[in-house]
Structure 1
């Protein structure tokens, strides 16, 4: 894998090039988690996958969506993210305010 080419592709937003570099290494058995993460991010940028649809029951993802939305000031998105956590402690705290 050409690490310099990958770094440049990621830095410049050349998602097609980044995909062509990452796809083969991400497909290898025991691929490093950082490669899988970056490959997933590239696929999201290319709009080839939607992470939410891959695992809508991922409670940690729901929590993180809410946390990020709060930091961005998007309270309705935070509430939507936490709605999947009905009865969860963080959801209860968020909906008290």
Structure 2
């Protein structure tokens, strides 16, 4: 089945050439991320790769979270109330 049929793009039903989408689906079939853009705005392959690596990392390391901009090999966090307002400090 075509992935676009499973996750229809906004307006894509009426105007299939107007939108593009990137979907990250985990091995269990759960949609973890989606990005939909208008036809005239490109997508960022580097960011898609970063997201794939982050989702893979948290899948293999339960209980941790990857902060915004996280890259493979960088520090991850254990979410909790003690981190509220202190994420930047925790990443130093």
Q: Give the TM-score category using the shorter length.
A: under 0.3
Q: Calculate the TM-score normalised by the size of structure 2.
A: 0.28
Relative to its length, the structure with more strand (as a share) is 2
Relative to its length, the structure with more helix (as a share) is 1
Q: Calculate the TM-score normalised by the size of structure 1.
A: 0.27
